[in-house]
Amino acid sequence: MSSDAPEHKDPDAPMSQHPPPNLQDILSPDGFYVLRRAAEALYEQRRGHRPKNTAADLSIHDLESLIEELRLHQIELELQNESLRATRNLLEQSLQRYEDLYQEAPVALLTLSEDGTIREANQSAATLLDEPRSALIGRRLGLWISEDRRPAFNTLLADVLSGECRRRLELRLVIQHRPACWVLAETTLVKPTVAREIRLALTDISERKALEEQLRQGEALWDSEERLCSLNAELEARGAVRIAEVNAANAAKSHLLAHMSHEIRTPLNVITGLAELLEQGELNAQQQHQVRRIQEAGESLLGILDDILDLSRIEAGKLGIARQPFELHKLLARIESFQGRCARAKGLSLDLDIPPLPAGAFLGDPLRLEQVLNNLIGNAIKFTNTGGITLRIQVREAETDTPYLHFEVEDTGIGIEPQILEDLFQPFVQADANLTRSRGGTGLGLAISKHLVELMGGKIGAVSQPGRGSTFWFDLPLEHMERRRHNRTLPTPSTVKIATSALSGWHVLVVDDSPMNQEVVEQALSLAGAAVTLADDGVQALQRLRSDPGAYQAVLMDVQMPVMDGLTATRRIREELGLHDLPIIGLSAGVLLHERQAALDAGMNAVLNKPIRLKQIIATLLHWSTAGTDVTPPATGSIAPTDAWMETFPVIPGIDRQQAAEILCGNQTMFRNLLGLLAVDGRNLVGRVHQDLARGQRQEAAARLHNLKSHAGSLGALAIQDLAKRLEEAIDRGEKDLDADLDGLNQQLRDLIEASAHWLKS
pLDDT digits (tens, 9 = 90+) for 87-120: 888 888 877 777 777 777 788 888 888 888 999 8
* Tally of CA atoms within 13 A in the half-sphere of 588 that contains its CB: 23
Average pLDDT over residues 341-365: 83
At residue 722, the pLDDT reads 84
Average pLDDT over residues 192-215: 82
Write b or e for each residue in 100-113: b if 16 or more Cβ atoms lie within 10 A of its Cβ, otherwise e.
eeeeeeeebbbbbe
At residue 361, the pLDDT reads 73
Higher pLDDT, 745 or 10: 745
Average pLDDT over residues 39-45: 66
CB < 8 Å & 24+ apart, contacts of 263-271: 264/301, 264/305, 265/302, 265/305, 266/718, 266/719, 268/298, 268/301, 268/302, 268/305, 269/656, 269/718, 271/298
Element (H, E) at 242: helix 225-280
Sheet holding 404-411, edge to edge: 349-353, 388-396, 404-411, 469-477, 459-465
Percent of the chain past pLDDT 90, that is, above it, reads 13
In the chain, where the domains are located:
5-101, 105-210, 245-314, 320-485, 488-627, 641-762
pLDDT at 411 > cutoff 90: yes
Higher pLDDT, 505 or 758: 505
**CATH architecture of the domain covering 245-314:** Orthogonal Bundle (1.10)
At residue 319, the pLDDT reads 66
Query: From CA 29, how far away is CA 361, in angstroms rounded?
Result: 117
pLDDT at 236 > cutoff 50: yes
Q: How confident is the model at residue 165 (pLDDT cuts 50, 70, 90)?
A: low
| Homologous superfamily of 488-627 | Response regulator (3.40.50.2300)
Question: Do 338 and 331 meet the contact criterion of CB atoms below 8 Å apart?
Answer: no
Closest Cα to residue 383, out of 414, 354, 361?
Answer: 414
What one-character DSSP code corresponds to residue 503?
A: T
pLDDT digits (tens, 9 = 90+) for 591-638: 556 677 788 889 999 888 776 677 778 888 888 874 444 333 333 333
Q: Does domain 641-762 have CATH number 1.10.3470?
A: no
At residue 6, the pLDDT reads 44
Query: From CA 537, how far away is CA 560, in angstroms rounded?
Result: 9
Q: CATH number for 320-485: choose from 2.40.110.10, 3.30.565.10, 1.10.1740.10, 3.50.50.60.
A: 3.30.565.10
Q: How confident is the model at residue 646 (pLDDT cuts 50, 70, 90)?
A: low
Higher pLDDT, 437 or 401: 401
Higher pLDDT, 194 or 746: 746
pLDDT at 390 > cutoff 90: yes
Average pLDDT over residues 305-332: 72
Average pLDDT over residues 721-738: 86
pLDDT at 640 > cutoff 60: no
pLDDT at 641 > cutoff 80: no
Collect all residues with Cβ–Cβ distance below 8 Å to 591 and sequence separation of at least 6: 322, 559, 599, 607, 609
At residue 461, the pLDDT reads 92
Q: Residue 444: phi, psi to the nearest 5?
A: -100, -20
Number of H helices, E strands in the chain: 27, 18
pLDDT at 376 > cutoff 70: yes
Instruction: Let me know if the fold of 105-210 is the same as that of 320-485.
Output: no
Of 62-66, 177-181, 262-266, highest mean pLDDT: 177-181
pLDDT at 538 > cutoff 90: yes
The letter for the amino acid at 522 is E
CATH top class, domain 105-210: alpha beta
| Pairing status of strand 469-477 against strand 404-411 | antiparallel
Measured torsion, CA atoms of residues 37, 40, 46, 52, in degrees rounded to the nearest 10: -140
Query: From CA 314, how far away is CA 319, in angstroms rounded?
Result: 5
Which pTM was predicted? 0.37
Is the bond preceding residue 366 a cis peptide, omega within 30 degrees?
no
At residue 30, the pLDDT reads 61
| Average pLDDT along the chain | 77
Element (H, E) at 216: helix 206-222
Question: Do 454 and 476 meet the contact criterion of CB atoms below 8 Å apart?
Answer: no
Average pLDDT over residues 668-672: 76
At residue 311, the pLDDT reads 66
At residue 82, the pLDDT reads 84
Q: Residue 169: phi, psi to the nearest 5?
A: -160, 140
At residue 574, the pLDDT reads 93
Of 230-234, 297-301, 390-394, highest mean pLDDT: 390-394
Question: Do 566 and 560 meet the contact criterion of CB atoms below 8 Å apart?
Answer: yes
Closest Cα to residue 659, out of 591, 612, 723, 706?
Answer: 612
At residue 587, the pLDDT reads 87
pLDDT digits (tens, 9 = 90+) for 240-274: 888 777 777 766 666 666 666 656 766 776 677 67
Query: From CA 443, how far away is CA 536, in angstroms rounded?
Result: 49
